[in-house]
Amino acid sequence: MKPPAVKLKTLIDSETLARRVAELGREISEDYKGESLYICCILKGAFVFAADLIRHIDCPLRVDFMRLASYGNATESRGKVKITKDVELSFEGCHVLIVEDIVDTGYTMKFLVDRLKLHKPKSVRICAMLDKRSRREIDVPVDYVGFTIGDGFVLGYGLDYAEFYRDLSDICVMETP
């Protein structure tokens, strides 16, 4: 199977990404100094970001994964969220940090935060590589933001289009013809 033909423009290059991820790791380390942390990485888009981020966090941590679906093969969120892989580790009484690739309308994050709070964590915070605040329909606090971006469909650095392009080292925006 071949990837869909798209025209890409670099939005954030790999060096800029690496610097910002290191900064986020230092901020998180400072905020959770002396505490342990439960990282909930949202698959599939955040796996590259989470892998890089945890190497810059200087506190004891455990990592688990959830997979949520809201896009499918489309470029627009359908607004409905379904869990396709749930967490496996207990995190009751723990500080939870959700690591997400992109926060857009807010529906997915609201759903996820509400769901995780059912497990009675000590706290739940969000770290997003990308934040599309201009598209927010539901107010969710994003505690750690890599980059705020405008409209446009982005891929690379874990983000995909129809499951392709996750392997790009830069974050690119898909240009329309």
For 174, other C-beta atoms within 10 Å of its C-beta total 18
Catalytic pick from 31, 52, 64, 104? 104
For 48, other C-beta atoms within 10 Å of its C-beta total 22
User: Distance between CA atoms of 65 and 54, rounded to whole angstroms?
Assistant: 13
Angle (CA) 102 105 110, round 5° = 85
The tally of CA atoms less than 13 A away on the side-chain side of residue 155 is 21
User: Distance between CA atoms of 39 and 42, rounded to whole angstroms?
Assistant: 10
Q: Which residue has the tokens 């309308």?
A: 105
User: Is 104 among the residues known to form the active site?
Assistant: yes
Positions annotated as catalytic residues are 104
